[in-house]
Amino acid sequence: MIASRHWIARMGATAFALALLYPFSALFAHIGTWQWDAQVRGPALSSVRVSLLLTAVAMLIVVAIGTPMAAYIAQCNMKERLFWQAVLLIPILLPPLALGILFTLAFGPYGSVGRLLNEWGVVLTNSATAFVATQVYVAMGYFVLGAVAALDAVPPILRKQAALLGLTPVKVFFRVTLPLARLGLAVALSIAWVRAVGEFGAVVVTAYYPSGMPVQLWVDLQSFGLPAVMPLLVVFLAVALPLPWLAHVLAQRRSHA
């Protein structure tokens, strides 16, 4: 009886997985010959370069700012920690399109900060700077919250022992905490990466140009239809999915080792 229930549960889980993965079968849908002529190829390749290069810059900024912030939150008392977590959840929960509009109004020529930045030559609408800034904003909360969880997973006793051996708090962080939390931090970074590289709603408002892959997919769909979308879609999936998938698999293997 127990074995029978186990197999029924496994079959249900298998059906669930198949339903979850079924949309990927669309990659083999009969929509005609994929379009990859010069009219499509040039903008598509340009969007790949824009997404990869500018998202990489955004992630460097996220890590540089988010890691110290996560380290600070990890050592806060519970009341203060809840406050910071609530702040970080705001950009995560905000609808992307609304986020883009608010970002443009705040940092574009309509706001006092935006006008001041324009005078300094920093343009935060339809520019590479706007693209990076928007990605940093949408991804920062994911990274910091994930990084806090990774740092929390490091046993406090190890940090205390390192401090007793004479290490300063900074050395404890870099020699003990950071190495032990590196896989969890990698998971947090991978989630921030896929969130940033796949952002459409906010970026299409703040940085329609230069076009990243999500925006270019929309443009190709509107201009040429599905056959022109598929080649770039395959590249987009190859860029967005493997890193977070691999990071989560390695994290699970480590946690059950």
Residue 152 placed within a domain: yes
Residues 6+ apart with CB under 8 A from 229: 217, 220, 221
Residue 61 placed within a domain: yes
Residue 224 placed within a domain: yes
Question: Which residue type occupies 159?
Answer: R
Evaluate the CA torsion angle 118, 49, 236, 30 in order and state its sign: positive
- 28, two tokens: 């083999």
Residues 6+ apart with CB under 8 A from 128: 50, 54, 207, 210
Better-scored residue on pLDDT, 130 or 5 = 130
Residue 15 placed within a domain: no
Mean pLDDT over 169-197 rounds to: 90
Instruction: Provide the angle, in degrees to the nearest 10, between the axes of the packed helices 38-74 and 178-197.
Output: 140
Residue 187 placed within a domain: yes
**Of 189, 159, 184, 161, nearest to 173 (Cα)?**
159
Each residue's pLDDT tens digit, 45-64: 999 999 999 999 999 999 99
Whole-number Å distance between alpha carbons of 151 and 148: 5
- 89, two tokens: 């959840």
Residue 202 placed within a domain: yes
Each residue's pLDDT tens digit, 212-257: 999 999 999 999 999 999 999 999 998 888 877 777 777 666 655 5
Tell me, rounded to whole angstroms, the distance of Cα 215 from its chain centroid. 16
User: Domain limits at 167?
Assistant: 38-255
Overall number of domains in the chain: 1
Each residue's pLDDT tens digit, 100-121: 999 998 888 877 888 888 888 8
Tell me, rounded to whole angstroms, the distance of Cα 156 from its chain centroid. 29
Please say if the pLDDT value at position 33 is more than 60.
yes
Mean pLDDT over 30-54 rounds to: 92
CB neighbours (10 Å) of residue 30?
A: 4
Whole-number Å distance between alpha carbons of 238 and 193: 13
- Output DSSP code: residue 173: I
Q: What is the CATH number of the domain that holds 209?
A: 1.10.3720.10
Residue 62 placed within a domain: yes
pTM of the predicted model as reported, rounded to 2 decimal places: 0.88
pLDDT of residue 148: 96
- Output DSSP code: residue 257: -
Residue 8 placed within a domain: no
- Output DSSP code: residue 35: P
pLDDT of residue 1: 62
- 33, two tokens: 């010959």
SS3 229: helix
